[in-house]
Amino acid sequence: KKMSDLSKKKKSRPTLFDFNGVSMTKYFTDNWDNIQSFKARPDDIVLVSYPKAGNTWVSYILDLLYFSQTSPDRENSVPLHERVPFLEISIPGFPSGVDELNSINSFPRIIKTHLPVQFLPQSFWEQNSKIIYVARNAKDTVVSYFHFDRMNKAQPEPGDWNSFLQRFVDGKMVFGSWNDHVGGWWKKTKTRSNILYLFYEDLIEDTEREVSRICSFLELSSSTDLKKEVTEKSLFNNMKHNKMANGSADEVLDFKISPFMRKGKVGDWKNHFTVKQNEQFDEDYQRKMRNTDLHFRTVL
């Protein structure tokens, strides 16, 4: 009930504030002590991304790889956000991500998070849990984030496209700066072998190839048939029509404004950026990314 109240009240959207150098809202910091003291397990799989980079997509793939054969009814009866709980979320009137994770009794636990690398609970490093990071090019990310914030009542008011884009460039987004996020996790892969760094664009280009990479990393001896089946089920149009995966089971999302699964393409930014916005964005991007060997494709 609380959630439908929340969606009626415009004023109940949270405000952004600085949290240890990263912009956040209370829905992701209210449970901070419990998040930081979270007890990881060695068989946990942590799925990390900046918002709107394909986290839901990869979580669906992982859930199918692990559970589609043993619990085939799961994908059509249990919402994805319950199968893959969101570690840091804490909205009054709902179980927190930590509580949901602590009550899971099917293993491995697949854990969703958008935390920047410096905020990941220490326990995951101590247990050497496997971590999959999904990165998406900045231009498509900001477009997707804009439409998401328009329809998600638990996010700050997005304002118009131009001011939203400026906020993105300034790093004043929930979960902070895109550059810091993708760059921080990329840097961590240089010193830790328990991280697989995936690109959304690669997943779009050849899903089956990336599913195979995921299986190798997780040491899953999945059959070719299963990989094909998972690839097929996780196609954008199939997921978009799966009520347990497309966000329609999530009460903070207003589908009258925009679908949660909107396009699932590479290059949609061209429909939003003006020539001037694109030039300014590129200039800022090149300055921020000049010292990294991390490269993205903005078209396929």
Active site residues: 114
* Rounded Cα distance, 28 and 87, in Å: 9
Beta bridge pairs of residue 24? 17
Residue 271: φ, ψ to 5°: -85, -5
Is the Cα dihedral 141, 243, 231, 217 positive or negative?
Answer: positive
Question: In one letter, which amino acid is 90?
Answer: S
Q: Where are the beta strands (DSSP E) in the chain?
A: 17-19, 22-24, 45-49, 110-113, 130-135, 195-199
| CA-angle at 69, arms to 66 and 74, nearest 5° | 80
